[in-house]
Amino acid sequence: MKYDGYRLPPLISGVLIKRYKRFIADVELDSGEKVTAHCPNSGSMKGCAIPGAQVWLSKSDNPKRKLKYTWELIKVAGTMIGINTQVPNKLVRQSIENGLIKELSGYDRVKAEIKTSSHTRLDLLLEKRTGEKCYVEIKNCTLVEDGMAMFPDAVTLRGQKHLDELEHLVSLGHRGVIFFLIQRMDARVFKPADMIDKIYAEKLKKAKKNGVEVIIKEASLDTKMIRIGKSIPYERCCS
């Protein structure tokens, strides 16, 4: 069967009561039952953890799991948002392998979780039989305000380190890519969130200037599937 996106498990609808302790969310299901779900997102989730908003959960039958439900989607201001940070890596990797991302096509092998130094791992390594290498770090973006997508939504020392590593690899003659997947469909343009993490924003601009490529894609979401959508431009003033 031809691959066209990340297929979600069967989902159960409800309303968000609150998210707390980063990884926990209380939800009232449409049936009226109140459940506690795992929140697979360590970010601040600024603008997309709104109490009273409609959410969708998946349910696990694994008897070893403490929390049976996992929060997958939320709808805010008419926009569906994917909040599971495990999705972007799977979706981007499989889309590359199936030739669905033209900017990253033409490679013969794709490897995940590549250790590039004693202190850093990057998400993907793409290789050609001729020896050419492309290192890709994937970031999940859910912060959008008035059509402006921004990353990060909280200070990220790890993200800063990834930019330094990509810039170093480019200096050695390899291709380096930072890939932002915006897991929602209301962004018109992207910029680094300098008001949240000024250092990250400065490092992203510097890395881009020194040859690190920035790929920004919107995700196309519904309750069945998450797909790679259209490209989103990088704001000119931040280039």
pTM of the predicted protein model: 0.94
pLDDT at position 133 is 97
156-179 residues labelled b (16+ CB within 10 A) or e (exposed): beebbebbebbbbbbeeebbbbbb
Give the per-residue pLDDT at 101: 96
**pLDDT for 125-136, tens place per residue?**
999 999 999 999
Q: How confident is the model at residue 11 (pLDDT cuts 50, 70, 90)?
A: very high
- State pLDDT tens for residues 205-238: 999 999 999 999 999 999 999 999 999 999 876 5
pLDDT for res 237: 61
Task: Tell me how far apart the terminal alpha carbons of the chain are, to the nearest angstrom.
Answer: 40
Instruction: Identify whether 152 is preceded by a cis peptide bond (ω within 30 of 0).
Output: yes
CATH of 6-81, one of 1.10.10.10, 1.10.443.10, 2.40.50.580, 3.90.180.10: 2.40.50.580
Residue 119 has a pLDDT of 86
Do 11 and 55 contact (CB within 8 A), yes or no? no
pLDDT at residue 48 is higher than 60: yes
> Which pLDDT score, from 0 to 100, does residue 65 have?
92
Residue 87: other Cβ atoms inside 10 A: 20
- Asked if 174 and 213 touch (Cβ cutoff 8 Å), the reply is no
Mean pLDDT of the chain: 95
* Residue 52, number of CB atoms within 10 A of its CB: 9
| Domain range summary for the chain, segments of one domain joined by + | 6-81, 87-238
CATH code for 87-238? 3.40.1350.60
The pLDDT of residue 2: 81
At 78, the amino acid letter reads: G
Sorted by sequence, the CB contacts under 8 Å of residue 230 that are 6+ apart come out as 217, 218
Decide if pLDDT at 29 tops 90.
yes
Average pLDDT, integer, range 59-75: 95
For the residues of the chain, what is the DSSP string, one character each? ----SEEPPP-EEEEEEEEETTTEEEEEETTS-EEEEE----S--TTS--TT-EEEEEE---TT-S--EEEEEEEETTEEEE--TTHHHHHHHHHHHTT--GGG-S-SEEEEEEEEETTEEEEEEEE-TTS-EEEEEEEEE-EEETTEEEE-SS--HHHHHHHHHHHHHHHTT-EEEEEEEE-SS--SEEEE-TTT-HHHHHHHHHHHHTT-EEEEEEEEE-SSEEEEEEE-PBPGGG-
Cα dihedral sign, 4-23-161-237: positive
